Amino acid sequence: MDTLALSRLQFAVTAMFHFLFVPLTLGLGWLTAWFESRYAFGGDEKYLPIARFWGKLFLINFALGVTTGITMEFQFGMNWAEYAKYVGDIFGAPLAIEALAAFFLESTFIGVWVFGWDRISKKAHAGAMWVVAFATNMSALWILLANGWMQRPVGYILRNGRAEMVDFLALLTNPYGWLEFFHTVFAGWVIAGFFVMGVSAWHLLRRNQEEAFKKSFGAGAVFALASSLLLAWVGDLSGVNAAKNQPAKLAAMEAHWVTQKSAPMTLLALPRLNGEGNYFEALKVPYGLSLLAFHSPSAEVTGLNDIAPQDRPPVLPVFLSFRAMVALGGLFILLSAAGAWLWRKDRLAEFPLYLKLMVFAIPLPYIAIQLGWLVTELGRQPWAVYGLMRTAEGVSRTLTLRQVWSSLGGFVLFYSALGVVDVWLLAKYARKGMEA
Ligand code: HEM
């Protein structure tokens, strides 16, 4: 492996680790704020231990998410110096706003929430968690507007070999970034809904604090159902957006090789490992791909054969990740709809098998979210900044193999340890149940 491949591997490892810790907080903040509001504004005392319980799990996850986020930005300077020079003028603003307006807001109000229990009114305390939840999601917005610029550069000019921002509003209103934002936060909300359902199911199977965990399960199920439906809807819009802005990514997602009007959707296919055509194709849905990609049955969909080989993303991993993500998305709708229905009918206890399944389903949305990022980032290759800068051009020139091996090894060890601590702490406090 050369320094480019290793640096890519390191960025992928750190980004994927980071995204194991972050997404739960995107949704668990809203759910905690909701539980606490039922107590603070609705006057229902039973919700106080519920809010404390989920709030504690939120805090554990938040602390570990911060640690893994900071190192990502260091890599821009260390491994990706050429890239950092190229995009620094663009990325500076959104990343600074993220730190100042969203992350500081979130951290400050987390402090208020942790230390404010007996110091401020219960309504102000619940309000603090709403601010935390809002700020956590806003953090994602600024990062994804920056990522959206890499997917679809807007509002810039090229001067002295680097991109300079000339229109901040264009970056702010870039539809690519907004679609990524909504798709990602809804995915995070699904993770939180499944987490709350899974942990509650574990307690319901043991008949621990049944009333409180039934309430938690219900909120988790309704939240997960609404979020998975929104996620699928935005996912569909993201497909149309990719078809318009990154035809090679869309073609790789669908293993679509021949440019065609009224293109059918191939349900079963397997792209060749060498990146030329498919081993086999079966079960074609007439007009399906044109409808999916452009919402029009007669639209022309560009095939990979019309994209120069050096401009194509790696087809097999993009194709497989996309299929698996969408299949999981469908499964989440079914599982959360079943949960919401059983909860509404108060029949959860009659279906222990379903409850067991929901405990084992906790990791599934985590897998889906990683697959989603693989589609987006591998699908953008070979570009770091779509159409402007190739990934290979962004790597630091003075980097040595030994340096990257040692930092990658360090990251893997450190993050694995953090991961173990995170899961161990979450499991420990999740099993403990609520304080009386
Ligand atoms: C239900 C059907 C789904 C559809 C149609 C769908 C569609 C898409 C598409 C087209 C992309 C690539 C966007 C681009 O790079 O231009 C994407 C990316 C992504 N997906 Fe999905 N997706 C679905 C389900 C899910 C699920 C269940 C999750 C996770 C729980 C998920 C998480 C992600 C993430 C995190 C990304 C990367 C961020 C982004 O580009 O928006 N998706 N999805």
Which residues have a Cβ under 8 Å from the Cβ of 76 and sit 6 or more positions away? 83, 84, 91
| Confidence (pLDDT) at 101 | 81
Three-class secondary structure of residue 282 per DSSP = strand
CA–CA separation, 293 vs 74, rounded Å?
A: 37
In this structure, are residues 259 and 306 in contact, taking their beta carbons and an 8 Å threshold?
A: yes
Question: Measured in angstroms, how far is the CA atom of residue 158 from the centroid of ligand 1?
Answer: 31
Select from 51, 49, 2, 61 the least CA-distant residue to 427: 61
| Confidence (pLDDT) at 64 | 76
| Confidence (pLDDT) at 98 | 86
CA–CA separation, 426 vs 169, rounded Å?
A: 41
Output the pTM of the full model: 0.95
Kindly report the protein residue whose alpha carbon is nearest to atom 27 of ligand 1: 329
Burial of 109 (0-12, 13-18, 19+ CB in 10 A): buried
Is residue 332 lining ligand 1, measured as CB closer than 6 Å?
Answer: yes
Question: Measured in angstroms, how far is the CA atom of residue 18 from the centroid of ligand 1?
Answer: 18
Is residue 328 lining ligand 1, measured as CB closer than 6 Å?
Answer: yes
Q: What are phi and psi of 34, to 5 degrees?
A: -65, -50
Is residue 238 lining ligand 1, measured as CB closer than 6 Å?
Answer: yes
CA–CA separation, 157 vs 160, rounded Å?
A: 10
Nearest ligand 1 atom, CA 245: 16
In this structure, are residues 61 and 196 in contact, taking their beta carbons and an 8 Å threshold?
A: no
Is residue 147 lining ligand 1, measured as CB closer than 6 Å?
Answer: no
Mutate to test the pocket of ligand 1, among 375, 377, 378 (most ligand atoms within 8 A of CB): 375
Is residue 184 lining ligand 1, measured as CB closer than 6 Å?
Answer: yes
Is residue 321 lining ligand 1, measured as CB closer than 6 Å?
Answer: no
Kindly report the protein residue whose alpha carbon is nearest to atom 18 of ligand 1: 372
CA–CA separation, 192 vs 30, rounded Å?
A: 9
Q: Residue 30: which region, alpha, beta or left (left: phi > 0; alpha: psi -120 to 50)?
A: alpha
CA–CA separation, 150 vs 87, rounded Å?
A: 9
Maximum Cα interatomic distance, the chain, rounded to a whole number of Å: 68
Query: b or e along 175-205 (b: 16 or more beta carbons within 10 Å of the residue's beta carbon)?
Result: ebbbbbbbbbbbbbbbbbbbbbbbbbbbbbb
Per-10-residue mean pLDDT of the chain, 436 residues long, equals: 91 90 94 98 96 95 78 84 93 86 89 95 98 95 95 96 94 97 98 98 96 98 98 98 98 96 95 88 95 96 96 96 98 98 97 98 98 98 96 92 92 90 92 82
Residue corresponding to tokens 């906790």: 362
Domain extents in the chain? 3-247+307-431, 260-301
| Confidence (pLDDT) at 128 | 98
